[in-house]
Amino acid sequence: MIDVPVNLGARSYRILVGAGALAMVGAELARLKVGRRVALVSDAAILALHGAAVTRSLAAASFDVTTVLLPEGERAKTLEVAASTWERFLDAGLDRSSTVVALGGGAVGDLAGFAAATYMRGIGVVQAPTTLLAQVDASIGGKTAIDHARAKNLIGAFHQPRLVLSDTSTLLTLPEREYRSGLAEVIKHGIVLDAAYFEDVERGVGALLEREPAALERIVAGSCRLKASVVERDEQESELRHVLNYGHTIGHAIEAVTGYRRFAHGEAVSLGIAAEAGIAERLGLAKPGVRARQVRLLEAVGLPVRGAGEAPSLVVEALSRDKKARDGRVPFVLAPEIGAFRLVFDVPTATILDALADLA
C-alpha cells in the first residue's frame, strides 16, 4: 500500500493507494475516532462489484452502515438526488460525528461529497474512488458539485475528505473506454508537472494497457502525489490549480459543442491537449517536437488526437462561455516543454483556429 499525504493543516488527510485498500476502511475510520454511523453512498452496479469489501470491513469494525443508492453516472448529480440523500441521512440518524463513504466514480464522489458538505453544515466524507479518473483526479482536492441546467458542476462546495482509499484492483472491472479516458488525466499530469513521471508513463504503456497491478499502483500513486502537491499550494483554485486544466479549456469546449455525447471526457481532453500543444508551438512558446511527443503518447494509449475538426468556429464560440474566463479572456495553460507550464491570457483567436484545424 502506498501512502500519499495531503498536507492542508487541520484539513490534512491521507490517500492510500493499492490493491485491497477498500478492506481497510473500517480500521482506518476507527483510527479517525468518528461516530458509529456510516452512510455508504454508491450505485447498484458498483455496489455489486465492489461493495462487499467495504461493508465487511465496516461491520468488522462495528460501524452501523446504511447504504444509499444513487442513479448511475451523471444522473446522480442533481438537486433532487441530493435532497433524497439528505433524507436518507436523516432517516438513518446521521449526526455531526457520522461519516459518508463515497464508493464509485467521480459522479458518486461529487454527489456524496456535496451531500456531506451540506448536511448539518458538513460531516466527514471518505472518498473510495473506483474509476481511474476518480482515483487520479476527482477524489483528491475537495471539490464537490451537482449540475445545473445551465452548466455542469455549477453548484457546489469545497469539502476535503477525511481519507481517500484508492483500491487499484477496482480498476480491473472498468470498461476499456472508461479506463483509457482516465489515462488522459494521467498524461496531463506528466506534461505540465513532471517530466520523469511522463517518461515513466511512456515506458510503461504496455503494462498500463494490460492493467498490471504494479503499474496501476505506481501510476495512480504518482498522479495522486502530483495533484496533492498542487492542491496543497492552492487549495481554493486561485491561480496555480489552473494548471490542472491543461487540455481542458479546449476539451470542455469540444464537449459542449458535441453535446457531451460524442466523446468521453478523457477523449475530449486528449483532443484538447493536441490542440493546446499546437497553440504553444505556434506562439513560439514550445520548441518543435514537444507537441509530437504528447500526441505520440496519447495515441499509444488509444486516445484520439484527430477527428474533431468539423466546426472550429463553434469551438471558439464555446470557449468564450468558459467558467474560467476573466473579463472575457480565457486563460490557457500551455506547456513550453514536458514537465513545465505557463498561464497565457492573450492567445489570438486566429492561433486557436489554426490549432483546431490540426484536429481535422
Residues that bind ligand NAD (CB under 6 A): 43, 45-46, 49, 72-74, 77, 104-108, 110, 130-131, 133-134, 137-138, 141, 143, 152-153, 170, 173-174, 178
SS3 279: helix
Q: Which amino acid, 195?
A: A
**Whose Cβ is closer to ligand NAD: residue 174's or residue 201's?**
174
**Whose Cβ is closer to ligand NAD: residue 74's or residue 234's?**
74
CA distance 208 to 205: 5
Query: In angstroms, what is the minimal distance from the CB of 180 to ligand NAD?
Result: 11
**Whose Cβ is closer to ligand NAD: residue 34's or residue 216's?**
216
Q: Contact, 28 vs 99, CB < 8 A?
A: no
Q: Contact, 298 vs 305, CB < 8 A?
A: yes
For residue 284, how far is the Cα from the chain centroid? 30
Question: Whose CA is closest to 170, among 112, 131, 211?
Answer: 131
Query: In angstroms, what is the minimal distance from the CB of 285 to ligand NAD?
Result: 26
Radius of gyration of the chain (CA): 20
Burial 294-305 (b: 16+ CB within 10 A, else e): bbebbebbbbbb
Q: Which three cell numbers stand for residue 50?
A: 465492489
**Whose Cβ is closer to ligand NAD: residue 269's or residue 352's?**
269
Query: In angstroms, what is the minimal distance from the CB of 315 to ligand NAD?
Result: 20
Query: In angstroms, what is the minimal distance from the CB of 186 to ligand NAD?
Result: 13
Q: Which three cell numbers stand for residue 70?
A: 444513487
Query: In angstroms, what is the minimal distance from the CB of 101 to ligand NAD?
Result: 14
For residue 20, how far is the Cα from the chain centroid? 21
Q: Which three cell numbers stand for residue 259?
A: 453535446
CA distance 155 to 145: 6
**Whose Cβ is closer to ligand NAD: residue 108's or residue 338's?**
108
Q: Which residues are catalytic?
A: 121, 143, 185, 227, 237, 241, 245, 248, 252, 265
Query: In angstroms, what is the minimal distance from the CB of 250 to ligand NAD?
Result: 16
Query: In angstroms, what is the minimal distance from the CB of 36 to ligand NAD?
Result: 27
Question: Whose CA is closest to 116, among 84, 86, 78, 81?
Answer: 86
DSSP string for 228-271: HHHHHH-TT-SSGGGGGGTTHHHHHHHHHHTTTTSS-HHHHHHH
| Residue with smallest beta-carbon separation from ligand NAD | 106
Beta strand pairing call for 99-104 and 37-43: parallel
SS3 332: strand
Question: Which residues, in sequence order, are bridge partners of residue 128?
Answer: 103
Q: Which three cell numbers stand for residue 26?
A: 473500517
CA distance 129 to 108: 9
